[in-house]
Amino acid sequence: MSSQVETVFRREWGRAVAVLARLTGDLGLAEDAVADAFAMAVDRWAAGPLPSDPAGWLIAVAKNHAVDQIRHESRRPGKEEAAARLISGRDPPRPSGLIVDERLRLIFACCHPALDPGVRVALTLRTLCGLSTAQIARAFLVGETTMAQRLVRAKRKIRDAAIPFRVPAGHELPGRTGAVLRVVYLVFTEGHRASAGPGVITDELCDEAIRLARLLAGLRPGDPEVLGLLALLLLTDARRPARATADGRLVLLPDQDRGRWDGAKIGEGTQILDRAMSLRRPGPYQLQAAIAACHATATDAGDTDWAQIAALYAALASHEPTPVVHANRAVAVAMAEGPAAGLAILDELCADSRTSGWHLVHACRAGLLRTLGRTAEAGDAYRAALALDPPPAERDFLCSRLSEISQCPRQLERTTMPTAEEGIEAQVRNIEARYGKTMPEWFAVIAASGLSKHTEVVAMLKAEHGLAHGAAHRVSLLSRQAAAPAPVSADAAVDALYTGKKASLRPLHDRLMTVIEAFGPDVTTVPKKGYLSIRRKKQFAMIQPSAAGRVDVGLILRDIPPAGRLEAAGSFNALFTHRVRVASADDIDTALTNWLHTAYVSAG
Amino acid sequence: MQMLSDYQAATQAMATAGVLVDSGPLQPPTAATTIRVRDGEPLLTDGPFAELKEQIGGYYVLDCADLDGALRWAATIPAARFGCIEIRPLMMPPDQG
């Protein structure tokens, strides 16, 4: 996409989809039509100047596409009239004052309580923010196909159940606002926690969330929680310029250069928060905004009013008793009353299986232990946090803290790449300790129940044995693995990868394996679904036959930026950092051999 | 008989608003007979077609513009306070959709 079209895309996608959705009542159709219009814009606008009203042009073209689509849908032959209505121009471009309504209409449809809460954020990111399905899938840690299916299902439900594209009527609005606030908040945190990918996208999600919060505050200026959310987003976003180093490393609050905070956003945020608080109906967003304001208005880290923050977190915990709130309260208490007081709260959270699997609890505990000079325990806590698979920016930070206190670099290298297996082992130990049965005993319980479906087994374990959902899920999965027939031999599994059209790719696979096996006798392979995992002490590469007539090689190379044919793995497979496409034996050259060898060495 | 008058009031309000197409309570599931035709042979069973915790007690056909409208009216049906109401659009013939 040219940069001109891209700018228009970012600015106008949500609005164009909103207009088309309202006209057609069909979100899927609206999205397709707008996407087609943008595809056409890429060609048209590259050849000449931009039309005077790019958004109007796009919406007009999208309407034509929608009309064609409706006419061609043979199963809705009577749609001629709807199509005619679309063309007739009875819906001229709206004056700018009403543009606001279009976007709000769309977000209220996407956040309708008749939709599953889990899909609302994803749907908003897709339709209003214009994120690709692949980007959203990555953010939610699910496969692209799974995410695509969820989105299609949600759009179909909107169409078939006749969910309206409308801001709810006055008396219904209060009850419907909460779900929208939640989604706007999650869009923001998605951008803020930087897990969707580095750079542009995350910043734009924060901007988009603030824009939506402003629209909502305009719609409901007397709702203190709406104002609270807007204040919270502004006050948090004010820290963005100081939150990461130039190379993307996380900078913690006390270490941030406060001179780089955005004073205008802090001023606006505190003003809006004051207005919200004057309405005297406190709620979670206002409390969080008040906490953010305590930080934002402290002249330096030492000046922070931690006693006030601890009190605000205690109030927040009464609204939202979540582990994240408790962990933050512990940190605030530690700052106000000393590390030992905070540590006592975190020790409790670590002893509780409902919160012990959450990396931030261990990371906070590690930080306090480090402050207290209990280095060995701090190291264990950092490792426990890393084993729970934190997002990349946080992982890098935890690694650097660990390396500061660790005397054994060899051990560090091992912990920088905690394996999923280690996380599962820790979880299994917790489950066995907490619920007093060994895994084989749990398998016997499942076998005795006669249930075979995963969801039924999970429900049974929760209802009859009091297991938490995560624990029940793990026990059920492990029982399935234990019950599965003995794994087929590795050779047979590789053979199975290269059947049918992919059979011709087998020589490339064998040639790659010859190269890799020459690195040392400790190379092992594990067949996975669709690919072959290649390991030393841990996984370092994989080979996957592609339907496109080539073999893809996945690599884990921590510190090498992607360039040229050494592509970023992206949505290809989240367990790997890079991908190299191998279309012929010529691609298995010195460069690829070197990359594979580097990955092999760092997995020792 | 409070329940009956509640139902009459709710149904009357729908009629007054012009959304009511049809409605009716059903006899209890003990009165149900289920029929299946397999290989041209009718097979009768005494009872409802599925042993569910919830049983359908009645129905309303309402003419509403969208889901929000339908939800508003459904919430006024007395059974919503102790049971539940499932809302589904009718599937329209192709030339009326």
- Amino acid code (one letter) for A149: Q
Q: Three-class SS of residue A359?
A: helix
- Cross-chain residue pair B66–A160, CB shorter than 8 Å: no
Give how far Cα B56 sits from Cα of B9, B10, B32, B67, B84, Å.
Answer: 21, 18, 11, 21, 10
Query: Is the CB of residue B40 less than 8 Å away from at least one CB of chain A?
Result: no
- Reported confidence tier of residue A82, pLDDT bands at 50, 70, 90: low
Structure tokens at A133: 């399905």
Superfamily of domain B2-81, CATH level 4: Dimeric alpha+beta barrel (3.30.70.1060)
Mapped onto helix, strand or coil, the DSSP state of residue A408 is coil
Q: Do A408 and A260 lie in a common domain?
A: yes
Rounded to 5 degrees, what are φ and ψ at A526? -135, 120
A479 with A408, same domain: the answer is no
Whether residues A505 and A572 fall in one domain:
yes
Q: Say what angle helices A420-435 and A439-449 make with each other, to 10 degrees.
A: 80
Q: How high is the pLDDT of residue B5?
A: 92
B67, A76: Cβ pair inside 8 Å? no
| Residue in chain A lying closest to B88 (CA) | A161
- State the nearest Cα–Cα gap between A545 and chain B, in angstroms: 44
pLDDT at A201: 54
Are A573 and A542 in contact by the 8 Å Cβ rule? The answer is yes
Size of interface A-B (CB pairs under 8 A): 35
Same domain (yes/no): A220, A310: no
A-chain CB neighbours of B72 within 8 Å are 172
3-state secondary structure of B20: strand
User: Does residue A24 register a pLDDT over 80?
Assistant: yes
Beta-carbon separation of A78 and B96 below 8 A: yes
Instruction: Note whether A163 contacts B89, CB cutoff 8 Å.
Output: no
pLDDT tens-digit readout, A144-162: 999 999 999 999 999 889 8
Q: Do B66 and A79 touch (CB under 8 A)?
A: no
Q: Quick check: is A401 in a domain? A: yes
> Which of A239-253, A543-557, A559-573 ranks highest by mean pLDDT?
A543-557
CA angle, residues A399, A402, A408, in degrees to nearest 5: 110
Contact across the interface for B68 and A166, Cβ inside 8 Å: yes
pLDDT tens readout for residues A116-145: 988 998 999 899 888 888 878 877 778 899
Q: Please indicate if any CB of chain A lies within 8 Å of the CB of B35.
A: no
Instruction: Quote the distance between the C-alpha of residue B59 and its chain's center.
Output: 2
Q: What is the ipTM of this complex?
A: 0.81
In a 13 Å sphere around the CA of A86, the CA atoms on its Cβ side amount to: 27
What DSSP state is assigned to residue B31? Answer: G
- Which of B67, B72, B95 lies nearest to residue A114, judging by beta carbons? B67
CATH of the domain at A295: 1.25.40.10
Domain holding A458, by residue range, is: 436-483
pTM of the entire predicted model = 0.60
Check whether residue A511 and residue A377 sit in a common domain: no
Task: Judge whether A426 lies within some domain.
Answer: no
Q: What is the pLDDT of residue A414?
A: 33
Does one domain contain both A200 and A183? yes
Q: Do B89 and A160 touch (CB under 8 A)?
A: yes
Residues of A in contact with B68 (CB under 8 A): 163-164, 166, 168, 172
Q: How many CB atoms lie within 10 A of CB A437?
A: 16
In chain B, which residue's Cα lies nearest the Cα of A163? B67
A187 and A295, same domain (yes or no): no
Of A77, A163, A168, Cβ closest to residue B95: A77
Considering its fold, how many domains does chain A have in total? 4
Closest CA–CA distance from residue B69 to any residue of chain A (Å): 9
Q: Are residues A203 and A284 in the same domain?
A: no
Which pLDDT belongs to residue A97?
Answer: 39
Specify the higher pLDDT residue, A515 or A78: A515
Pairwise CB contact (< 8 Å): B94 & A77: yes
Per-residue model confidence as pLDDT tens digits over A334-349? 888 888 899 998 998 8
Closest residue on chain B to A70 (Cα): B97
Residue A197 has pLDDT above 70, yes or no: no
From the number of C-beta atoms within 10 Å of its C-beta (0-12, 13-18, 19+), residue A314 rates as: middle
Contact: B67, A112; criterion CB under 8 Å: yes
Say yes or no: A206 and A173 in one domain. Answer: yes
**Secondary element (H or E) of residue A409:** helix A409-416
Question: A160 contacts in B (CB within 8 Å)?
Answer: 89
> Are both A371 and A412 inside the same structural domain?
yes
More confident position, A261 or A76: A261
Q: Is the dihedral of CA A385, A386, A387, A393 positive or negative?
A: positive
Considering the domain architecture, whether residues A307 and A384 belong to the same structural domain is answered as yes
Kindly tell me if the per-residue pLDDT of A562 is higher than 90.
no
Chain B residues with CB under 8 Å of A78 CB are 94-97
Q: Closest CB to A76: pick one of B66, B89, B97.
A: B97
With 50 as the cut, is the pLDDT of residue A44 above it? yes
Question: Tokens 């790997």 sit at which residue?
Answer: A576
Is residue A140, in this structure, part of any structural domain at all? Answer: yes
Mutating which of A24, A26, A76 best tests the B interface, going by the most B Cβ atoms within 10 A? A76
Asked if B97 reaches chain A (Cβ–Cβ under 8 Å), the answer is yes
pLDDT digits 0-9 by tens, A286-316: 999 999 999 998 888 888 899 999 999 999 9
The overall average pLDDT reported for chain B is 88
Give the mean pLDDT of A244-250.
76
Nearest Cα of chain B lies from the Cα of A431 at a distance, in angstroms, of: 33
Q: Do A208 and A312 belong to one domain?
A: no
Closest CA in chain A for residue B87:
A161
Q: How far is A163 from chain B (nearest CA, A)?
A: 5
